[in-house]
Amino acid sequence: MSSGSTKYKALNRAVGKAVHRYDMLQDGDRIVVGISGGADSLTMMWMLAERLQRIPIKFKLFPVHIDPGFAGGFSEALQTYSAEAGFSLRVEHTDYGILGHSAINRENPCFLCARLRRKRLFEIAAELECNKLALGHNKDDVIETLFLNICFAGEIGTMVPSQTMFKGRFTIIRPLAHADEEIIRAFAREQHFPEFVNPCPSASNSKRREIKTMLKQLYRNNPKIKGNIFRSMSRVKTAYLLK
């Protein structure tokens, strides 16, 4: 593992901030790590494994990939890469993506597929007697989810860095919640992480991509906007919201 670059240092600061602020890691944790095959999840796995080597607490990582079932998938290549990188990846073959794009679910295929994949990850976590599920969502994902909920669900809310579920049985943690997507992509290139082509038919035409495009235009106009949006989510003046 190479940990001397400026990209690593920036990323490590962001991960450390999230981990400490939300008390994400405790001694004895058993953590299912959701591996999608993208730069975010591979970076998260790398950072957690690297952190495990140098901090005084001990925890166990159980990387899992949920294959949504599309033709042309990359689960075998991802599993091979994982073995070469030194971790054993469990692959679950499903039809969730196909079901999400079927006639019974025309409106929002991404929502159903994501919900089913999350449900299966919780089931695996229970089977492995894990208490936490780590997901690779980054700062940009958190901001985009806020706008997705505003624009398409008519509510104000987003994904949070640490969230207890099922009366305390599981906790979802997002170690990259304070990390910019741009830094993660640069770090992934620096580490020569493989790039897998997502076979999902909605990958390039989703509501999230619409929001991402809109936000990128805002950021180009004023580089302070991104940080201001992110900070605003922890500075909510509820007295000035409609009731």
Report whether CATH 3.40.50.620 matches the domain 6-240.
yes
Question: Where do runs of H (alpha helix) occur along 130-177?
Answer: 139-148
Q: What is the pLDDT of residue 3?
A: 60
CA–CA dist 173, 39 (Å, integer):
17
Q: What is the pLDDT of residue 238?
A: 94
- CB neighbour burial string for 211-220, b if at least 16 within 10 angstroms, e if fewer: bbeebeeeee
Helix orientation angle between 6-21 and 181-190, rounded to the nearest 10 degrees? 130
Phi and psi based region of residue 30 (left: phi greater than 0; alpha: psi -120 to 50; beta: remaining): beta
Q: Which stretches in the chain have pLDDT values below 50?
A: none
Phi, psi of 198 (to 5 degrees): -75, 115
| Pairing of the two strands 90-93 and 170-173 | unpaired
